[in-house]
Structure 1
Amino acid sequence: MSIAELYNIFKEYPLVSTDTRKISQDCLFFALKGENFDANTFAGEAIKQGAAYAVVDCLDLPKNPQFIFVDNVLKTLQDLAHYHRKQLGLPVVGLTGTNGKTTTKELINAVLSQKFKTSATLGNLNNHIGVPLTLLAITPETEVAIVEMGANHQKEIEFLCAIAEPDFGLITNVGKAHLEGFGGFEGVKKGKGELYDFLSKSNETVFVNHDNNYLLEMSNDKVFKEVVYYGTSSLCYVSGELLANDPYLKIAWRQGGHQETVQSQLTGIYNFENILAAIAIGKKLGLTNEEVNKGIEIYQPTNNRSQIIKTAKNTVIGDFYNANPSSMAVAIENIAKLDAGKKILILGDMFELGDESQAEHQTIVKQVGKHSFDEVIFIGKEFSKQQQAPFSFYTDVEVLKKHLENNPIEGALILLKGSRGMKLEQLMEQL
């Protein structure tokens, strides 16, 4: 079956599922393969649960009029998503970066939704499966789409751009993450820079943080339809100034001779540039200052990304969705600047750093030592290799949980940060 023929079926049954545990009535089930599973074996079950059709690539399956046989289910999903994107013809904002992708995507969506019917990546469905699912979830009523693109190796952003074909693009920043897959920091720059490469070749518009020297360097040698700068310089299309961080950010911003002040529900100085990015995109796409400000003001962070959580005993900066050396460093500097009577760090290992893991964990321990925190707790095998007074070190979360049960923390501002695999959310009950 051709993609055009499959698209006609998709228009009749526009819901897509890749998980038999989440089958919607009359959806299209795509039987993907993984390292430890082959969803072709669940195709019949998907039909029984209400799927209109199952897209499969195993010729050994029994004949079924509701099975659509293709050469490769994953490629078909990606091709169908690209075809759908082309038929819609709506503007797509694509973004990537080492840190702040999801928060920036949510901010952009909050701002643009004040004027347009928007569709944005759900959660962090930003890989070779997530981006196609994001595109296929766009309805004909959508006026602007915001697509987050993630990567842990080179050529991945290039591939995702070919599927999503963004008209506007943004790299939040480049930092030390997935060093193992990218082959070092220069590999990260090259990999994330594939978004700039695509926008340049396609003659599209790029938004660049003027305060970030890496992004300036990466964008300066390319030609775009338009370069829109945001940052602290008055020369930028949108310029801004941080007014307060106590602990929520309040900023002043200026565009076209008009100055505005906006209070956000975000913490972390590092989110200042993410707010400016959303403002710049909103203004470029024709929103009023009032619409932009409302979008920034209503956005509340979730999913343990720079999220302030008040418990019965403490205030926790829950920033443990993920971590890398870059995001860890700025989170530490942020809490160091906050005004609180008692400040405690609980930091977990950072994953996927390859040969640079020991050096990067050592750097974080040294950075913490430059500040005067009331208590610092490190968790994980990598941090435990760096043991030194006066810090506490625990090999895993379970051991620390038992310690906290017997030695509860009270009345503190706590930064809880580490890689997703550390499962630091298990500590919230004790905090």
Structure 2
Amino acid sequence: MRPVTIDYIAAGTEGRIWARAEGGMYDTVDNVAIDNRNVRENGLFFAIIGERVDAHRFLPDVVERGCHTVVVSDREWADKMKEAGDVNVILVEDTTRAIMRLAKKYMEDWPELRRVAVTGSVGKTSTKEFVYSVLSSKYKTGKTPGNLNSEYGIPLTVFGLDPDTEIAVIEIGLGYGADMEDLVDMVKPEAAIVTTIGSAHMRVFGTREKLAEAKLAITTGFGRNGQKGVLVVNSDCHELEPQWIRQHTKGDFDIVTIGTGNRCDYRISGICDEGIDGVKCTLEFGAREGRETGGRLEMKLPVIGAHNSWNAALAIALGARLGISEEDGIEALKNVYSNDNRLDVSETQKYTVINDTYNASPESMKAALDILSRSKRKGRSVAVFGDMLELGADSAALHRSVGEYSLETGLDVLVTVGELAADITEGAREKSEDGKKAPVIISYENRAEAEKDLPSRLQEGDLVIVKASRGMALEELVKVLVEEGDR
């Protein structure tokens, strides 16, 4: 982070300097935190009031840890910190809006920084990593760490960028927090990707169309410094076809499409999913500005899942608009990084475990089943699926659809964890009544039951994938499985 002064922070947050540290100490800050456990010296702490925790109560601990500049919205706490004497206190109406305002100003005052954004129902973080790999081949690139894509995560990402960063890849999520327009307003990207529109957040938006409109609001950030802006989309998704986009957005921006259709700017074909050994495909494209001829290139990715062919194509298409050839983009993706809890493979002495516990949707659950069916392993294929949250009124049907699909892929063992996931087993059982062979089905009410019993049910040579919504914390189950597999 580039150092900023207390006066700069007050102006950026639209706050009032309630107190200054005695003697003008700690007049600048060079890092920002919203978690008291993450504060550092010369830092700035925002006392966020969340649904469960009011961070004002951590202020004494924050100061004790060496952070002497705080933004607060509670008048009583402002007075308490003022009495301490060695704390800069900035009082605002709302600390959440304040951190967003400061992030916006910080970015506005960094005009030379180029920025791109990634959003979508599924694949945001994986695609962000692909874009980062492509852009890093030419530019000093920064990115969203992990999945810090909310009204809090985006400011923390912005403040955490190295001062010499040339281009930033920022993931933008959407759910219960701020509107997309407010999130994009902090970033104002010159280019953006929408990966796909799926079933996630149906509880919030109700329909795919409304969700698509919300995601496409990412285009409201285009136009900084007179730039036209470019939107890269997976047009295999109906709501991301150019005609649909034009009907549901405003503004003048270019649209670049990737997908399997003949009219796509970047056409994916010949997909060969080799399970945990990666995926191969062909990428075809026509001439474009800066390139007189098109091309047909083979792409080999060291990541799991055929769906990553689309994510990689999105990254390559965006990179091409920013001066990186398709050939160089594909070369860069040969070493793409895999995130924690996203298709991480652990080979134990007894069996193999794929940790994909970061999050889940019906589409990604089915993709996980495809991974198992396409992996060349001697043992059984085992899917351990937990609850998918935030699916709204259609939750039960969507869970059942995953169970039904498990029979289509020839799954050997289906394990469910949680109350909602019980509908996955119901879907499998109902489908088996049509005459299809059903997998062995094991159901647990909660993670504790699974941790206690499941390791003893697994056999030598099994290939196991574990997946659920983030709230299920099934990464803890993965730890148990890996430990037991190595005993």
* TM-score normalised over the length of structure 1: 0.91
Which residue in 2 is equivalent to 1:206?
231
| Residue aligned with 2:75, SS | coil
Is 2:421 aligned against 1:383?
A: yes
Shift of 1:332: 2.0
CA distance in 1, matches of 2:392, 2:272: 38
Which residue in 2 is equivalent to 1:275?
312
Is 2:78 aligned against 1:78?
A: no
Is 2:59 aligned against 1:43?
A: yes
Which residue in 2 is equivalent to 1:284?
321
| Residue aligned with 1:214, SS | helix
Which residue in 2 is equivalent to 1:100?
123
| Residue aligned with 1:378, SS | strand
Letter in 1 for 2:369: I
Which residue in 1 is equivalent to 2:181?
158
Shift of 1:187: 3.0
| Residue aligned with 2:453, SS | helix
- Select between 361-370 and 74-83 the one with higher mean Cα deviation: 361-370
Q: Can you give the 5+ residue segments of structure 1 that lack an aligned partner in the other structure? A: none
Which residue in 2 is equivalent to 1:357?
395
Is 2:469 aligned against 1:407?
A: no
- Select between 349-358 and 193-202 the one with higher mean Cα deviation: 193-202
Which residue in 1 is equivalent to 2:283?
253
| Residue aligned with 1:381, SS | coil
Which residue in 2 is equivalent to 1:230?
258
TM-superposition CA deviations, 1:176-221 (whole Å, max 9, x none) = 1122122243332232222245548984211122332221154232
| Residue aligned with 2:363, SS | helix
Which residue in 2 is equivalent to 1:68?
89
CA distance in 1, matches of 2:91, 2:461: 60
Distance change in 2, residues 1:76/1:400 (3 Å): closer
CA distance in 2, matches of 1:406, 1:276: 41
Shift of 1:81: 0.3
Preserved contact between residue 56 and residue 72 of structure 2 (Cα < 8 Å):
yes
| Residue aligned with 2:315, SS | helix
Distance change in 2, residues 1:359/1:121 (3 Å): same
- Select between 213-222 and 270-279 the one with higher mean Cα deviation: 213-222
Shift of 1:409: 2.3
Is 2:219 aligned against 1:219?
A: no
Preserved contact between residue 356 and residue 467 of structure 2 (Cα < 8 Å):
yes
Distance change in 2, residues 1:155/1:67 (3 Å): closer
- Select between 216-225 and 357-366 the one with higher mean Cα deviation: 216-225
Q: Which of residues 356, 364, 373 in structure 2 aligns to 1:327?
A: 364
CA distance in 2, matches of 1:326, 1:156: 24
Letter in 1 for 2:356: D
Is 2:364 aligned against 1:343?
A: no
Distance change in 2, residues 1:392/1:41 (3 Å): closer
Which residue in 1 is equivalent to 2:154?
131
CA distance in 2, matches of 1:365, 1:243: 25
Preserved contact between residue 27 and residue 51 of structure 1 (Cα < 8 Å):
yes
Distance change in 2, residues 1:209/1:317 (3 Å): same
Distance change in 2, residues 1:414/1:405 (3 Å): closer
Distance change in 2, residues 1:159/1:423 (3 Å): same
Preserved contact between residue 177 and residue 326 of structure 1 (Cα < 8 Å):
no
Letter in 2 for 1:112: L
Q: Which of residues 204, 227, 232 in structure 2 aligns to 1:181?
A: 204
Preserved contact between residue 317 and residue 416 of structure 1 (Cα < 8 Å):
yes
Is 2:451 aligned against 1:423?
A: no
Is 2:37 aligned against 1:21?
A: yes
| Residue aligned with 1:136, SS | helix
CA distance in 2, matches of 1:232, 1:367: 22
CA distance in 2, matches of 1:328, 1:88: 40
- Select between 276-285 and 394-403 the one with higher mean Cα deviation: 394-403
Distance change in 2, residues 1:4/1:397 (3 Å): closer
- Select between 15-24 and 388-397 the one with higher mean Cα deviation: 388-397
CA distance in 1, matches of 2:192, 2:161: 18
Shift of 1:339: 3.5
CA distance in 2, matches of 1:345, 1:170: 30
CA distance in 2, matches of 1:346, 1:214: 31
CA distance in 2, matches of 1:11, 1:68: 11
Which residue in 2 is equivalent to 1:394?
444
Distance change in 2, residues 1:67/1:57 (3 Å): farther
Shift of 1:295: 2.2
| Residue aligned with 2:398, SS | helix
Preserved contact between residue 115 and residue 291 of structure 1 (Cα < 8 Å):
no
Preserved contact between residue 208 and residue 228 of structure 1 (Cα < 8 Å):
yes
Q: Which of residues 288, 295, 303 in structure 2 aligns to 1:266?
A: 303
Preserved contact between residue 151 and residue 178 of structure 2 (Cα < 8 Å):
no
- Select between 245-254 and 157-166 the one with higher mean Cα deviation: 245-254
Shift of 1:233: 4.6
Matches within 5 A, 1:184-199: 184-199=207-222
Distance change in 2, residues 1:155/1:41 (3 Å): closer
TM-superposition CA deviations, 1:345-392 (whole Å, max 9, x none) = 221121122322211112221221233222222222123255436522
CA distance in 2, matches of 1:273, 1:395: 35
**C-alpha RMSD over aligned residues:** 2.7
| Residue aligned with 1:269, SS | coil
Which residue in 1 is equivalent to 2:434?
none
CA distance in 1, matches of 2:414, 2:56: 49
Which residue in 2 is equivalent to 1:303?
340
Preserved contact between residue 128 and residue 169 of structure 2 (Cα < 8 Å):
yes
- Select between 298-307 and 101-110 the one with higher mean Cα deviation: 298-307
CA distance in 1, matches of 2:169, 2:50: 27
Preserved contact between residue 151 and residue 177 of structure 2 (Cα < 8 Å):
no
